[in-house]
Amino acid sequence: MRCYLHTFLLCMIFVFFSFLYVFNQLASTLEDRDGWRVKEHGIPGRKSHDTGHLLRKRPGLEGLRDREEGLDSERSNSAVKAESRDESSHLAVVACGPRLEETVTMLKSAVLFSKKPLHFYIFAEDELHKSFRNTLESWPLRVRARFNSSIYPITFPKENAREWKKLFKPCASQRLFLPLILKEVDSLLYVDTDIIFLQPVEDMWALLSQFNSRQLAAMAPEHEEPRIGWYNRFARHPYYGKTGINSGVMLMNMTRLREKFFKNDMTTVTLKWEEMLMPLLQKYKLNITWGDQDLLNIIFHHNPESLYMFPCQWNYRPDHCIYGSNCQQAEQEGVFILHGNRGVYHDDKQPAFRAVYEAIRKYQFGDNLETSLLRPLETSLQTTTHTYCGRASHLLTKRLKQSIMSVQQDATQRRR
């Protein structure tokens, strides 16, 4: 009898601890589920080390103020305010090989027409660092006072560095790793070296305030006309929308990008940005043509809610005029950013694009913008009307004229 009693007591103790274990596991599961909900839906679940307030990241400079003041907002609808503590537009570029002069010309165009401060993040091969520093330091003091610059080495994950560096063009895929390298930068505008700004950079920067609470990057369509589109006719991998996206001008809220868990076609589990890149390359490397741009198309194909699309005049390429004008927004408002891809600044295939590049390259700081830049450019463009893009050259100078007029008016007011 005593033996049965001991057995009964041992069973009761076992049952008690079993219930305790199950209860503990259930509580842990509920906490984990809440944690995933925080990550997937953007519910504030992290505290600022500075303020102790719950945070929700918002685009651009608004996002910087959120961290400083502990604000919690679903959507940023207001424009970037002048009284913000950081009014700079943050601009990144990656330069490898013979891209020094092209990159410097791009930076010059950014400085020429911007009224607010700029911060340049220049990623370049080591042998180019000194040349970049010397060139930027040779600019007049009044010009250098309008920007800060930081020069970085080309950096890829050590275990796959060679594979990433040779993807598409040398170093082009560096842009994929900018959110992981520039960890303290909230938002960033990445551009290819063959970009020319025809209006202030801060106008593009202001598009961050148009992001809704889920959007974390902005790009333009690869094509406006599906009949001449590349992705919809030739791609052997998923791509965004009807005609894909072009990554030559890419505006990013990198805080959101670092925090998001992305849907993908490699696993049923959502993955962080840094977890996703290498498996994505391994899966599609035999099917992609345009390197990192193709990878971005795949990512946003599966996460379309995360992308803000801006119109084609913010990334105007030969494709928009080579067979006739097909960028309606540029026809109405002019070209805002010129993208001379496929080397058109350095050959005679698209002389209208080359004329704009050469006008900016040859311009000397301090000269009159109208007489030393605009008028010589208009004269050059008159010789390009034998091409479709040359016949649309008035679109290339429409916004440029306004930018020059605005800069000159500001200069006149300062002299007063």
pLDDT tens for residues 363-387? 999 999 999 999 999 999 999 999 9
Residue 54 lies in a domain: no
pLDDT level of residue 172 (50, 70, 90 thresholds): confident
Kindly report the CATH number assigned to the domain that includes residue 298.
3.90.550.10
CA 342 → CA 17, 353, 399, distances in Å?
70, 11, 23
Residue 8 lies in a domain: no
Shared domain check, 357 and 261? no
Residue 253 lies in a domain: yes
The secondary structure of 93-114 as a DSSP string is EEE-SS-HHHHHHHHHHHHHH-
Burial of 115 (0-12, 13-18, 19+ CB in 10 A): middle
Grouping H, G, I as helix, E, B as strand and the rest as coil, residue 348 is coil
Residue 210 lies in a domain: yes
Shared domain check, 272 and 204? yes
Shared domain check, 367 and 220? no
Shared domain check, 310 and 224? yes
Residue 73 lies in a domain: no
Check: CB of residue 232 under 8 Å from CB of residue 244. Answer: yes
Residue 155 lies in a domain: yes
Shared domain check, 339 and 386? yes
- Give the chain's mean pLDDT: 84
Is the model's pTM score more than 0.85?
Answer: no
Shared domain check, 377 and 260? no
Shared domain check, 335 and 196? no
Of 276, 292, 314, the last residue of a domain is: 314
Q: Which of 374, 393, 373 lies closest to 383 in space, CA to CA?
A: 393
Shared domain check, 228 and 142? yes
Of 314, 343, 368, the last residue of a domain is: 314
Grouping H, G, I as helix, E, B as strand and the rest as coil, residue 195 is strand
Q: Which of 122, 68, 50, 55 lies closest to 91 in space, CA to CA?
A: 122
- For residue 303, the enclosing domain spans 89-314
Shared domain check, 350 and 290? no
**What pLDDT is attached to residue 85?**
62
Indicate the helix (H) or strand (E) that contains 309: strand 307-309
Of 282, 314, 346, the last residue of a domain is: 314
One-letter amino acid at 113 equals: F
Q: Is the pLDDT of residue 21 over 60?
A: no
Shared domain check, 329 and 249? no
Q: What is the pLDDT of residues 73-120, one digit of tens each?
A: 444 444 334 334 678 999 999 999 999 999 999 999 999 999 999 999
Shared domain check, 252 and 108? yes
Residue 245 lies in a domain: yes
Shared domain check, 234 and 378? no
Check: CB of residue 297 under 8 Å from CB of residue 238. Answer: yes
Grouping H, G, I as helix, E, B as strand and the rest as coil, residue 224 is coil
Residue 52 lies in a domain: no
Domain count, the chain: 2
